[in-house]
Amino acid sequence: CPGLTVLATSREPLGVPGEAVRPVDPLPAAEAVRLFGERGAAVRPGFTLAEDPDAVAEICRRLDGLPLAIELAAARLRLLGPRQLAERLDDRFRLLTGGSRTVLPRQQTLRAVVDWS
């Protein structure tokens, strides 16, 4: 298809003709918190950052501002509050291996998403 542009995300360069690698840096703190707030409100209507701004900031900091990790964490607001989620980050193995069983296997856990990418 002439003029077709494809945006593919990956942890590794794909090595295909015409590839242009664009590194994605971690988000600055304010943008990370904003992303968490937007995704949190999408999965839990009524959620606002004012609910527990310190916990949200801690979550984003501990996830190193990585957009994918922040989005996956915010999705957990369906079942957990921000403080509970921040506390669960202490058990990184659980965070990596626990997840919804109603989605595709590659989307069930943070580890599966990273492995699939």
The predicted model gives 72-78 an average pLDDT of: 92
Query: Under a CB-based contact definition with an 8 Å cutoff, are residues 43 and 74 in contact?
Result: yes
Nearest to 77 by CA among 45, 109, 33: 45
**What does the pLDDT look like over 16-68, one tens digit per residue?**
888 899 888 899 999 999 999 999 999 999 999 999 999 999 999 999 999 98
d(CA 58, CA 29): 10
The predicted model gives 7-20 an average pLDDT of: 84
The domain ranges of the chain are 29-116
d(CA 44, CA 29): 22
The predicted model gives 4-18 an average pLDDT of: 83
